[in-house]
Amino acid sequence: MHIVFALVVVAAFGLFAWNAWRLILELRMGRLDDSRWSDVGARLGNLLSIGIFQKKIFRDSVAGPMHAAIFWGFCVLTAGTIEFLVAGVFPSFSFAKVLPGVLYRFYTINQDVWGALVLLAVSFALFRRITKRVKRLMGAETHPNDPLLILSWIGALMITMFGDQAMAMVANPEPGIGLLRPISAVIAALSSVVVSPSAALTLERLFWVSHGLLVLSFLNYLPYSKHLHVVVSLPNVYLSNTSGPGQVGVMSAMDLEGDLEVFGAKDVEQLSWKSLLDGFACTECGRCTSVCPANITGKPLSPRKIMVNVRERLEEKSAAAGIGLIGRSAGGTAVTTAGATTARALLDTYITEDELWACTSCRACVTECPVSIDQLSVINELRRNLVLGESRFPEEILPAFESMEQKGSPWAFDPADRAKWADGMDIPTMAELHGRGEKPDVLYWVGCMGSFDDRAKKTTVAFAKIMKAAGVRFAILAQEEKCHGDPARRMGNEYLYQMLAKDAVGVLNTYAVTKVVTACPHCFHQMGNEFPQWGGHFDVIHHSTFIEELLAAGKVPLRADLHEPVSKFTYHDSCYLGRYNEVYDAPREALKRALPVMELVEMPRSRDRGMCCGAGGGRMFMEEHVAEGGKRINAERAEEALATGATTIAVACPFCMTMLADSVKARDADVTVLDIAEVVAGRLAV
Amino acid sequence: MKIAVCIKRVPDQDVRFKIAAGGKAVDEAGLKFDMSDFDGYAAEVAIQLTEKAGAGEVTVVSVGPDAVQETLRKALSMGAHRAVQLKHDTPVHDGYAIASALAAELKEGAYDLILTGRMAVDTQNRSVGAQLAELLDRPYIGAITKLDVEGGMVKARRELEGAFELVECTLPAVLSIDEGIARARYPSLKGIMAAKKKPMDVRPAQLGAQRYTLESLELPPERTGGRIIGEGPDAVPELVRLLKEEAKIL
């Protein structure tokens, strides 16, 4: 009997190991030049907080505790499974023989308690899935029967575990055993009324065998299921590309000089192995899709679908290449003829252009994912292929590309007008200071919107006034400032981006610039986090932080009168300031310091849950096609802001300003949209 | 099918120009140059014709200094197959001289179709296409907005005020291309890389006799800001006086 069991265990683990090796081969189909060995400390920190302590899982207050109970229960019960398997082969084995009494009792009690918690949690999960139509759990791309099967499987594992323990107690009552496994003991006491000790012995064997078979088959079902996530999640969290400091949301630098066959990614082979691992780690929970501004407003994009598609396509391709999971290579669910797989690709066959262009690059999906999947990097790589490889993109962005190249700004303004906002303000240019042998404290990088857009220019002037009032010695580049190409990069045009970014870095380095302040979060992110790729190492500060520091140091002369009526403000987080750079408090503090009588009300979606205005990722330059029943992203956000009852919506980004101001105006609401700088400048005592 | 497309390098038009010293040329400092828009449509039409046929060759030709190679290279990155620079280092304004240089190049080479833009967006002379056709003794259709080439015949549509005109001629022919027929594609990086390896011939431009010279360039007067002289009927006499005496239009 034990020999048979031993053979079954070896066979089951052998099968699992074989498939695990197959999965590694599948991952190796991807690009391997994406090293994840650095930043061990930060990665371990993520593993602990996001993985072990389930930090992101708890962002959902209902599913959070439920999942945590199952996860922690699994960790605890794995010890019991090891004891179970070893004892199956060597019947005399028990942890009681290797652990001191107190520890052993701690172990057994935990087995019982967590077993019960897991059973409760999976019952609730099943109940929730079957009776409540939780929106984020639904979607055409999901496999709705898989979770029902898996949850039942886990439930059965718990029931057979308790059955085995309880029947053993009925068959062979030992004094004091109830203290070791209190819940099993209660079940034993209740069932001993109807079950005789001899029948219990048979039942115990039955539960034991079923439990063993369930454990081993569960293990081997995982590679075929979305619940592969059980195995892959923790490694995925450790390896996530959000580990290194300053690495959040940074796009990879393409080597455009190299002899590339394919630009960006058209299929799974051109994606990083880590993106493929992301596909394995996805368990289709839908948290990403539920926070996606495009998805919420009825656009065709679902970040979850992107990941499901990556895995599906990888399974199809690996099966055709003969390295798929056992049973898949022989046909299985995948298309296996070579012709069919070459005509098919991740791009177009699985993921359409419209999905890709709907993305605002707001990082809500990446931030929300409990296992640190990076949906955005897949979208970015596919966009690169569309633009660089095939010149396929919405025609509205052609003028933006051409204008960036010709005029150094995505809008076709005359470059000669770049510093027109500064007429009469007596602001020196870098060239002038350089000519006098002087250096400013800080370079004010105005940005294209701040230079040319009529509304944004008011913010530019307001911020310049604050700096002047505070005695900051600053300069601008005037006509020497040109777009750094970030919009081009976000829209997949890495070629144009690199041209512009290298030029901009060159200009800044010519003047030996060290410190830069900008009112645009996109410039802030690009110059601070992505310029190092081109040898541009600058201390870049967003104007909200800069203003807050000036205010905190008492350097900004503000009016003393506080007899103004209390006004109600709400603050809209910009994605590139918030989720990309974790600047949440500075703009809020700046508002409070400038307006002590103000009441700041938060929108339901704020800080790292903040909802995008709809302009990021190059969406600013594209038509927003609103489907039946859908709406504009800025409408969704403006409605949320207006619902707070605030009379002023404060923003810290010229793109957000345009989107929200447009939508507020369209609603005829008597609400003003102001930049942080305008609020503070309005209180200047000059 | 062999197609030649004549393209011109022009300064970006959406800026305020300055006149260079001497008063006969635009100050090129800070200007960005690109292919003239209509020439871009012509190149696109030619590339689409060969793509559709799965055969053929598109040659792009430009008259000018070495800087035009950048513009020719852009046409190659869009998908043209080879380029010819007819080198001439000083600006030429006479359409007949340019047409003569192009004709000298294009009379050989058995081109079925020669395309030009409707006009160069900087000088707007609209003269090269027709003169080129005349010099080559080929049929010419100007400013077309739709084109079909089938069985040695060209069927073209021209847009007139409130009407379409359908015109046919035989190949070989010279056509000038209007807007609306096709958008010039944005070169993919793949195309840009491929363009680096495509042939670019440089030959001296055999300009014909120049029949006119540019005498001077002038900027239109700066627009002065509006002035509010008053409100209602009281302001009318003053307005009339100013229109008579200052603006001198009454």
B193 CA to chain A: closest CA distance, Å? 9
DSSP string covering A200-264: HHHHHHHHHHHHHHHHHHHHHHGGGSGGGHHHHHHHHHHH-TT-STT-TTPPPPP-SSS--SSSS
Residue A456 distance to chain B (closest CA, Å): 21
Report how far apart, in Å, the C-alpha atoms of A41 and of each of A52, A257, A370 are: 15, 34, 19
d(CA A10, CA A4): 10
Give the closest-approach CA distance of B148 to chain A in angstroms: 24
The pLDDT value recorded for residue A334 is: 45
Comparing alpha-carbon positions, the chain B residue that sits nearest to A401 is B186
Quick one: pLDDT at residue A245?
58
Measured in angstroms, the CA of B183 and the nearest CA of chain A are apart by 9
In a domain, B228, yes or no: no
Using the Cβ of A452 and the Cβ atoms of chain B, whether some distance falls under 8 Å is answered with: no
Q: Which residue of B has its CA nearest to A387?
A: B188
| Residue B152 belongs to domain with CATH number | 3.40.50.620
**Which residue from B63, B65, B83 is spatially nearest to B73, judged by alpha carbons?**
B83
CA distance B109 to chain A (A): 31
Whether the per-residue pLDDT at B131 is higher than 80: the answer is yes
In-domain check, residue B238: no
Instruction: With respect to residue B107, please indicate whether it lies within any of the assigned structural domains.
Output: yes
User: Binning pLDDT at 50, 70 and 90, where does residue B213 land?
Assistant: confident
Residue B174 has pLDDT above 90, yes or no: yes
Please report where in the chains the tokens 């189909």 appear, as a residue.
Answer: A29
Dump pLDDT digits (tens) for A605-638.
999 999 999 999 999 999 999 999 999 999 999 9
Tell me the pLDDT tens digit for each residue of B41-71: 999 999 999 999 999 999 999 999 999 999 9
Q: Please report how many Cα atoms fall inside a 13 Å half-sphere around the Cα of residue A129, on the Cβ side.
A: 20
Question: What are A23-32's pLDDT values in tens digits?
Answer: 999 999 999 9
Distance CA A588, CA B33 (A): 46
SS3 (DSSP) at A566: coil
pLDDT in tens, A63-75: 999 999 999 999 9
Does any domain span residue B217?
Answer: no
- The mean pLDDT of A451-466, rounded to a whole number, is 98
Question: pLDDT tens digit string along A137-165?
Answer: 988 999 989 999 999 999 999 999 999 99
What integer is the mean pLDDT of B134-159? 95
pLDDT score of A669: 85
C-alpha to C-alpha distance for A113 and A292, rounded to whole angstroms = 38
A41: left (phi over 0), alpha (psi -120 to 50) or beta: alpha
Q: Which residues contact A69 (CB under 8 A, 6 or more apart)?
A: A114, A117, A118, A120, A121
Instruction: Write out chain B residues lying below 8 Å of A398, CB-based.
Output: 183, 186
Residue A516 token pair: 């830069």
A492-506, B168-182, B229-243 — which is least confidently predicted? B229-243
Say if the Cβ atoms of A414 and B14 lie within 8 Å.
yes
DSSP-assigned states of every residue in B144-173? EEEEEEETTEEEEEEEETTEEEEEEEESSE
B154, B170 contact by CB (below 8 A): yes
Global confidence as pTM: 0.91
Backbone CA torsion sign across A122, A127, A128, A130: positive
Asked if the Cβ–Cβ distance from A263 to B183 is below 8 Å, we say no
pLDDT at A678: 97
Nearest beta carbon to residue B189 from set A263, A414, A415:
A263
pLDDT, tens digit (0-9, with 9 covering 90-100), for B103-113:
999 999 999 99
Q: B interface toward A at CB cutoff 8 Å?
A: 12, 14-16, 30, 32, 34, 183, 185-193
A649 has pLDDT over 60: yes
Average pLDDT on B135-139 reads: 97
Amino acid A174: pLDDT: 83
What's the whole-number mean pLDDT along residues A398-407? Answer: 94
The model's confidence at residue A243, banded by pLDDT at 50, 70 and 90, is low
Inspect the interface and report whether the beta carbons of B32 and A388 lie closer than 8 Å: no
CB within 8 Å: A388 and B189: yes
- Nearest residue to A624 (alpha-carbon basis) of A397, A447, A286: A397
Mean pLDDT of chain A: 93
Instruction: Domain count for chain B, please give it.
Output: 1
Give percent of chain A with pLDDT exceeding 70: 97
Q: Which of A657, A652, A622, A621 is nearest to A637 (CA)?
A: A657
Quick one: pLDDT at residue B209? 83
Per-residue pLDDT, A242: 64
pLDDT at residue A316 in the model: 93
Q: Interface pTM (ipTM) of the complex? A: 0.82
Q: What does pLDDT average to over chain B?
A: 93
Euclidean distance between CA atoms A98 and A621, whole angstroms: 67
Q: Is B16's CB within 8 Å of A416's CB?
A: yes
Q: Please report the pLDDT score of residue A330 as a whole number.
A: 43
CA nearest to B11 within chain A = A406
pLDDT confidence bin for B19, thresholds 50/70/90 = very high
Distances (CA, A) of A498 to A86, A486, B27, B113, B165: 59, 9, 29, 38, 47
Instruction: Find the domain containing B43 and state its range.
Output: 2-204
B237: in domain: no
Tell whether B232 is covered by a domain: no
| pLDDT confidence of residue A340 | 53
Q: What is the pLDDT of residues A303-348, one digit of tens each?
A: 999 999 999 999 999 998 888 888 875 444 444 455 455 689 999 9
In a domain, B193, yes or no: yes
In order, the DSSP letters of chain B are: -EEEEE--EEE-SSS---BPTTSSSB--TT--EEE-HHHHHHHHHHHHHHHHHT--EEEEEEEESTTHHHHHHHHHHHT--EEEEEE-SS----HHHHHHHHHHHHTSS--SEEEEESS-TTT----HHHHHHHHHT--EEEEEEEEEEETTEEEEEEEETTEEEEEEEESSEEEEE-TTS-PPPPPPHHHHHHHTTS-EEEEE--------------PPPPPPPP----SSGGGHHHHHHHHHHTS---
What CA–CA distances, in Å, run from B208 to A250, A291, A347, B102, B116? 57, 68, 53, 10, 19
Please name the amino acid found at residue A114: W
Residue B101 maps to a domain: yes
Q: Mind listing the pLDDT tens digit for each residue in A369-393?
A: 999 999 999 999 999 999 999 999 9
Q: Looking at the complex, does the CB of residue A255 fall below 8 Å from at least one CB of chain B?
A: no
